């Protein structure tokens, strides 16, 4: 069943025009040899830049790829975190090992730049804290598209000049980071035109929260002095004030973004509801698999 399901996913991705796929620990559960066979059926590369054969230390899948979109060369590489595999035996069972992510990332960024990449994207099967550390340690990554931490991010985390996103889990949300590149630019510095509105909304919400906490503390002290412990409200108020200061500082430092000049980035994160119509060909493949394996009918994650 696992092999048939994996084959169906690759067939669907082939039809979609998929550009690249990062390897995760659950993919490796299929077995190294089966996954290599599956990769040969894909019209897109399976990427795992730091996954190597334990004996030879040679990479098992493709390290990187350059995808050309609208005249821009997008360099893509992928990393698999040791944290993702530490509770399984998929590495030892398949004779595999993982190289240091930061060292591999530096090598891949340098290679992609040499090969003509204008922007560089890391498909990171890694935790959010690892993605942030990677962005701090490795200069030159435009975006890290997270695929493992299952974090729900309304907007990207920004570390230095790197945008970090996460796709959450089980196809519940669609995560789309769009890079708008101006003609003639070769050093791409991106800015988010929606970030100002997001920050202004956050600041207003935090100010309302602060006012509510301040009023609650006043009411407690007035109506029941000494009878009610207001320490939780006081601590929450302090945290909210610190959060407000951080948001206001970011807003103050935020550059103005003109849609008519410069490159910028936009981010969409819509929920995928069951009301959205399925693609007929994809639905047919899913239903055929369910007929073959009735167990899947009890699982409604498409």
Task: Tell me, yes or no, whether 288 lies in a domain.
Answer: no
Q: Report the CATH number at residue 20.
A: 3.60.21.10
Number of domains comprising the chain? 2
pLDDT-derived band of residue 40, with 50, 70 and 90 as boundaries?
very high
The answer on 92 and 63 residing in a single domain is yes
Backbone phi and psi for residue 206, each to the nearest 5 degrees, phi listed first: -65, -40
pLDDT-derived band of residue 280, with 50, 70 and 90 as boundaries?
confident
Sign of CA dihedral 2, 169, 297, 12: negative
pLDDT at 115: 97
- The pLDDT tens digits of the residues spanning 83-118 come to 877 777 889 999 999 999 999 999 999 999 999 998
Query: pTM of the predicted model, to two decimals?
Result: 0.74
Strand partners, 75: 66, 120
Distances in whole angstroms, Cα of residue 227 to Cα of each of 232, 237, 238, 266, 297: 14, 20, 22, 51, 57
The answer to whether 130 and 124 have CB atoms below 8 angstroms apart is: yes
The answer on 181 and 39 residing in a single domain is yes
Task: Tell me, yes or no, whether 136 lies in a domain.
Answer: yes
Two structure tokens written together for 72: 């821009």
The answer on 142 and 208 residing in a single domain is no
Q: Where are the alpha helices (DSSP H) in 42-185?
A: 82-85, 90-93, 101-114, 128-137
Distances in whole angstroms, Cα of residue 62 to Cα of each of 33, 45, 235, 244, 279: 15, 7, 50, 45, 30
Task: Tell me, yes or no, whether 126 lies in a domain.
Answer: yes
Task: Tell me, yes or no, whether 163 lies in a domain.
Answer: yes
The answer on 189 and 71 residing in a single domain is yes
Lowest average pLDDT, out of 199-213, 222-236, 239-253, 268-282, goes to 222-236
The answer on 82 and 11 residing in a single domain is yes
Q: Label the pairing between strands 21-22 and 64-69.
A: unpaired
Q: Which residue has the higher pLDDT, 293 or 34?
A: 34
Q: Which residue has the higher pLDDT, 151 or 172?
A: 172
DSSP helix/strand/coil, 267: strand
Task: Tell me, yes or no, whether 267 lies in a domain.
Answer: yes
The answer on 120 and 225 residing in a single domain is no
The residue among 3, 87, 13 whose CA lies nearest residue 282 is 13
Average pLDDT, whole number, for the chain? Answer: 85
pLDDT at 193: 65
Q: Label the pairing between strands 264-268 and 176-180.
A: antiparallel
Q: Which residue has the higher pLDDT, 46 or 1?
A: 46
Query: Across residues 180-187, what is the average pLDDT?
Result: 61
Write out the residue range of the structural domain in which residue 8 sits.
2-193+259-271
The answer on 162 and 97 residing in a single domain is yes
pLDDT at 103: 97
pLDDT at 55: 94
pLDDT-derived band of residue 121, with 50, 70 and 90 as boundaries?
very high
| Portion of the chain with pLDDT greater than 90, in percent | 39
The answer on 135 and 55 residing in a single domain is yes
The answer on 83 and 53 residing in a single domain is yes
The residue among 108, 57, 36 whose CA lies nearest residue 79 is 108
Q: What is the 3-state secondary structure (H, E, C) of 148-187?
A: CCCCCCCCCEEECCEEEEECCCCCCECCEEEEECCCCCCC
The residue among 54, 45, 42, 1 whose CA lies nearest residue 22 is 45
The answer on 90 and 35 residing in a single domain is yes
The residue among 187, 195, 185 whose CA lies nearest residue 257 is 195
The answer on 206 and 80 residing in a single domain is no
pLDDT-derived band of residue 302, with 50, 70 and 90 as boundaries?
very low
> For the chain, how far is it from start to end, CA to CA, in angstroms?
15
Residue 183 has pLDDT above 80, yes or no: no
Radius of gyration of the chain (CA): 23
- The pLDDT tens digits of the residues spanning 162-181 come to 888 887 766 777 888 888 77
Lowest average pLDDT, out of 162-166, 209-213, 261-265, 293-297, goes to 261-265
The answer on 117 and 217 residing in a single domain is no
The answer to whether 164 and 144 have CB atoms below 8 angstroms apart is: yes
Task: Tell me, yes or no, whether 297 lies in a domain.
Answer: no
């Amino acid at each position: 069943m696992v092999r048939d399901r994996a084959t169906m996913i690759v067939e669907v991705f082939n039809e979609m025009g998929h550009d690249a796929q990062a390897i995760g620990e659950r993919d490796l559960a299929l077995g190294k040899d089966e996954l290599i066979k599956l990769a040969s059926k894909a019209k897109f590369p399976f990427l795992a830049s730091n996954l190597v054969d334990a004996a030879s230390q040679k990479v098992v899948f493709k390290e990187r790829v350059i995808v050309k979109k609208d005249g821009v060369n997008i360099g893509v590489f992928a990393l698999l975190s040791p944290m993702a595999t530490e509770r399984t035996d998929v590495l030892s069972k398949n004779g595999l090992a993982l190289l240091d992510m930061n060292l591999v990332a530096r090598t891949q960024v340098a290679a992609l730049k040499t090969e003509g990449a204008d922007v560089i994207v890391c498909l990171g099967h890694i935790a959010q804290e690892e993605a942030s550390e990677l962005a701090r340690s490795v200069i030159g990554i435009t975006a890290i598209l997270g695929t493992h931490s299952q974090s729900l991010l309304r907007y990207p985390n920004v570390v230095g000049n790197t945008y970090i996103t996460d796709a959450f889990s089980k196809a519940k949300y669609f995560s789309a980071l769009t890079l708008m590149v101006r003609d003639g630019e070769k050093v791409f510095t991106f800015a988010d035109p929606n970030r100002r509105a997001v920050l202004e909304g956050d600041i207003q919400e935090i100010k309302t929260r602060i006012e509510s906490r301040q009023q609650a503390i006043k009411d407690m002290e007035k109506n029941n002095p000494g009878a009610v412990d207001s320490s939780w409200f006081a601590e929450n108020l302090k945290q909210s004030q610190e959060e407000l200061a951080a948001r206001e500082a970011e807003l103050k430092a935020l550059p103005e973004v003109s849609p008519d000049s410069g490159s910028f980035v936009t981010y969409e994160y819509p929920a995928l509801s069951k009301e959205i119509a399925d693609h007929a060909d994809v639905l047919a493949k899913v239903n055929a698999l369910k007929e073959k394996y009735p167990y899947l009918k009890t699982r409604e994650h498409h």
